[in-house]
Amino acid sequence: MSYGRKYVGFDLEIVKIMENGSDWESQRPLGISCAATLTSDTDDMRLWYGDGDAMTVKEAAYLVRYLEGQVARGYYVLSWNGLGFDYDILAEESGERELCARIAWEHHVDMMFHFFCIKGFPVGLDKVAKGMGLSGKTEGMSGALAPVMWAAGERDKVLEYVAQDARTTLEVALAVEKAKYLAWITRRGTTSGVAIPYGWLPVNEAVKLPLPDTSWMDDPWPREKFTGWLGEPQDR
């Protein structure tokens, strides 16, 4: 258990097959094929999907309401890049933008965003999982491949993938909290690390961390890349 904090791990997959790599903003709306949630204290894994190719507005809104209910029970939603992607997409697809923004800002631990606020660059979930000695994401799968497989009718494999992502997210959170240290595999194949001495911070606390030195980068990302869709979070 993590410092007395309860988590509900959260991850979703999109419907749209990307035509231009990571430039997903220009290809919206993306649709949600499925999602997974996993509680840290009861190991309650839930898979979320509809009868059609994409979750309807009503189905996506029901997922939002579930997360709201978990927050009311004292959970923090836990994600890897959920601030910059999953919650942004969920807000659009559910029609619950204000509620999604409030939860994402106040009751949400985005570990990747916390890492980004410390280091000034992002890192992938699987790189951290492997650095922490965990099994990591589903072998041979990726977020880009999931929409292709969903469209091809291989939905069970996509559901297994999103479930494993939610589980890996939770495993990473607890492993890092126990070690008070995050290790990841770099692009060169070496292992690097950073101290996380006081545990994970919710988004509205992580954003207060001092800006890292990014003078060595050609085009560093601003934090607004992840927070921009929230509007004016200080008013929430």
Residue 218 lies inside a defined structural domain of this protein: yes
Q: Is residue 64 part of a domain?
A: yes
Tally the domains of the chain: 1
What's residue 136's pLDDT?
A: 87
Domain housing 144: 6-235
pLDDT of residue 3: 54
Ordered alpha helix ranges (H), the chain: 57-72, 87-94, 97-106, 111-119, 125-131, 145-151, 155-179, 203-206, 224-227
d(Cα 17, Cα 11) in Å, to the nearest integer?
18
How many CB atoms neighbour CB 180 within 10 A? 11
pLDDT of residue 21: 62
How does pLDDT run across 188-217, given as a tens digit for each residue? 999 999 999 999 999 999 999 999 999 999
- Provide the 8-state DSSP code for 95: S
pLDDT, position 91? 97
For residue 114, the domain's CATH number is 3.30.420.10
**What pLDDT, on the 0 to 100 scale, is given for residue 234?**
47
In a domain, 1, yes or no: no
What is the pLDDT at residue 20? Answer: 65
pTM of the full predicted structure?
0.93
Contact 165, 141 (CB under 8 A): no
Q: Which residues of the chain have pLDDT under 70?
A: 1-4, 20-22, 233-236
Q: What is the pLDDT of residue 1?
A: 36
Tell me, yes or no, whether 138 lies in a domain: yes
Residues 6+ apart with CB under 8 A from 151: 15, 17, 53
Could you give the CA distance from residue 60 to residue 65 in angstroms, rounded to a whole number?
9
In a domain, 174, yes or no: yes
Give tens-digit pLDDT for 26-50: 777 899 999 999 999 999 999 999 9
pLDDT in the model for residue 138: 81
Structural domain contains residue 150? yes
